[in-house]
């Protein structure tokens, strides 16, 4: 069992989707609980890649391939989780999306994957998301955190629009807001009343956990 989990973790780190999918199947056949596979192979693997990225030892393509490998493994594990009626112990609920007028998604997708790998339930709204949709999803899910991505200076003001919409809906006090994207900065976060800023996916995990008081 330990050998399969070790090889699966290495497949995540190497960004090998085919091997990750096959090893996830082998783990289930060997009788390993799907939650154990996630907690002892997938999550640690993604954490290693995230740390390598932050240290400059890996790059965005490496993160993307690791994310793909994790998604392939999860596609195998999720039906088993449902069949066993097992649920991951969640550290919090996050709604994430790229704001209205902006269709860039690579950075947002990486953040969503890293947050999910770290034990958070993530609702990814996609790209070009209007402020009203963010508000609706927070109401539907009871989200603890909203992540707002913008890659263009012309759309970054829509991050502020989402915060204003949350205020108008009476939700701002109960949900934390983290922003990111090329034109964003800690100063911009402060200007628009966001709770935090993250420069990259790995940093976003730490920031969100800090906002939620999770170690």
Residue the block writes with tokens 């449902």: 82
Query: Across the chain, what does the average pLDDT equal?
Result: 93
Q: Which helix (H) or strand (E) holds 24?
A: helix 17-29
Contact 149, 98 (CB under 8 A): yes
pLDDT above 70: percentage of residues in the chain:
99
Residue 182, domain extent: 93-212
Q: Which domain-ending residue is among 50, 84, 118?
A: 84
Q: Which token pair is 202?
A: 């790995």
Q: Which token pair is 6?
A: 């070790």
Position 101 confidence tier, pLDDT thresholds 50, 70, 90: very high
Q: Which token pair is 28?
A: 């289930």
Kindly report, residue by residue over 56-97, the tens digit of the pLDDT.
Answer: 898 889 988 999 999 999 999 989 988 887 777 778 999 999
Kindly report, residue by residue over 122-179, the tens digit of the pLDDT.
Answer: 999 999 999 999 999 999 999 999 999 999 999 999 999 999 999 999 999 999 999 9
Let me know whether 65 and 100 are in one domain.
Answer: no
Read off φ and ψ for residue 183, nearest 5 degrees.
-80, -10
Position 1 confidence tier, pLDDT thresholds 50, 70, 90: confident
Let me know whether 171 and 192 are in one domain.
Answer: yes
pLDDT of residue 83: 84
Let me know whether 12 and 76 are in one domain.
Answer: yes
Let me know whether 100 and 186 are in one domain.
Answer: yes
Contact 34, 77 (CB under 8 A): yes
Q: What is the pTM of this model?
A: 0.82
pLDDT of residue 139: 97
Rg over alpha carbons for the chain, rounded to the nearest Å, is: 18
């Amino acid at each position: 069992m330990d050998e399969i989990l070790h090889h699966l973790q290495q497949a995540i780190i190497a960004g090998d989707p085919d091997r990750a999918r096959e090893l996830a199947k082998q783990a289930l056949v060997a009788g390993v609980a799907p939650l154990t596979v996630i907690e002892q192979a997938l999550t640690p693997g993604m954490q290693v890649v995230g740390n390598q990225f932050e240290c400059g030892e890996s790059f965005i393509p490496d993160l993307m391939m690791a994310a793909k490998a994790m998604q392939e493994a999860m596609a195998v594990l999720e039906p088993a989780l449902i069949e066993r009626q097992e649920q991951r112990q969640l550290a919090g609920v996050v709604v994430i999306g790229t704001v209205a007028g902006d269709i860039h998604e690579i950075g947002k997708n990486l953040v969503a994957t890293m947050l999910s790998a770290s034990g958070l339930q993530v609702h990814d709204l996609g790209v070009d998301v209007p402020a009203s949709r963010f508000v609706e999803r927070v109401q539907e899910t009871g989200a603890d955190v909203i992540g707002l991505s913008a890659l263009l200076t012309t759309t970054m003001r829509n991050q502020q629009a989402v915060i204003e919409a949350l205020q108008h809906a009476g939700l701002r006090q109960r949900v934390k807001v983290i922003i990111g994207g090329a034109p964003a900065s800690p100063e911009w976060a402060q200007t628009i009343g966001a709770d935090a800023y993250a420069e990259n996916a790995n940093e976003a995990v730490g920031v969100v956990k800090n906002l939620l008081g999770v170690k």
